[in-house]
Copies of this chain bind each other. A is one copy, B any other.
Amino acid sequence: MNYLTQDKLVIVGAAGMIGSNMAQTAIMMGLTPHICLYDPYEPGLKGVAEELNQCGFEGLNLTYTSDIAEALKDAKYIVNSGGAARKAGMTREDLLKGNAAIAEEFGKNVRQYCPDVKHIVVIFNPADITGLITLLYSGLKPSQVSTLAALDSTRLRNELAKWFKQPADNIVNCRTYGGHGEQMAVFSSTTKVNGRPLVDFIGTEELPADEWDKLRQRVVQGGKAIIDLRGRSSFQSPAYLSIEMIAATMGGRMFRWPVGTYVNNSRFRHIMMAMETTVDKNGVTVQPFSGTPEEEAELDKSYRHLCELRDEVIAMGVMPPVDQWGELNPNLMQPTAPDAC
């Protein structure tokens, strides 16, 4: 088998549904033979490792451990789905605080055990925050930590394909930027349907304004819909897409969707959010993009929402105030992206 790299890839949260799918996906995509599974839940972790070993893969060096130091030693790539799920009786704030604390510990572990890591993809919720905290405490460069932000765009493509009764391939360049779900900024001006701009359809009888609103709502509620249908949270699509992201950082195929990345320019200050990027061996690089004035206003609004969320976490005490970030990670005080964005 031809592997993209011989570097060590660590799957954090490997005992879970997303993590175990990520591991299988990474093996099948031929990213690297050296895959280490980490999870604090030892029985589940062992069960996943056993399952994968029972697939009979060739050339695979699969290891697993519940010792984070051992897992991260010599790690060059990490995908982290290791957040806590919301449990009965938990408030949104409880979940936020819990996962923020997990991200802080993870970032510190990265700094201590694998400062030479090349790239980390963070996908546990809320990823814009957990990714930001990971970046802050790891001391890595903004290009080295990204978050899964593609699902809103792939869900938009899927909803448009169903609406127009077209193969999904005929729906090109779906793009949502900024935050996720309710907070996403849909850049419909970027999208073409069968070669025609999507905006030419919106508000016509082919896609009446109220239907477009409903369609957007279905995108926002895409995750909830999966839970309603399957009785479990979406796991195949986040797992697959996050492995596509890390593959791109290994020099694999171009990643085709927006990516959550740290931005600090004259317009967006010290925030992690979905942007247009290139993802390659240099990590994530923000690319210029633009929308209609309405879309740009929507993105500004999305940015402000994310700032509020960030400041809420700062108020919780998990992150220091922005003006102190430079002490933890000087890279975060540098300008990151073209001001045009």
* A interface residue numbers (CB < 8 A to B): 15, 20-21, 24-25, 28-29, 43-44, 46-48, 50-61, 150-151, 153-155, 157-158, 161, 167-169, 222, 225-226, 228-231, 234-237, 240-241, 256-257
Contacts and interface: CB of A to CB of B under 8 A. Distances in A.
Contact of A58 (B169, B228, B236): B169
Contact of A24 (B15, B54, B236): B236
Contact of A50 (B15, B55, B59, B225): B225
Contact of A55 (B53, B55, B226, B237): B237
30 contacts: A15-B230, A21-B21, A24-B25, A28-B28, A43-B229, A44-B229, A44-B231, A47-B225, A47-B229, A47-B230, A48-B236, A50-B158, A50-B229, A51-B230, A51-B234, A51-B236, A53-B158, A53-B168, A54-B151, A54-B155, A54-B158, A55-B237, A55-B240, A56-B154, A56-B168, A56-B256, A56-B257, A58-B169, A59-B169, A61-B167
A60 B55 CA distance: 25
Nearest to A15: B230
- Copies of this chain present in the complex amount to 2
Nearest to A174: B56
Of the listed residues A47, A60, A161, the one surrounded by the most CB atoms of chain B closer than 10 A to its CB is: A47
Contacts of A237: 51-52, 54-55
Nearest to A236: B51
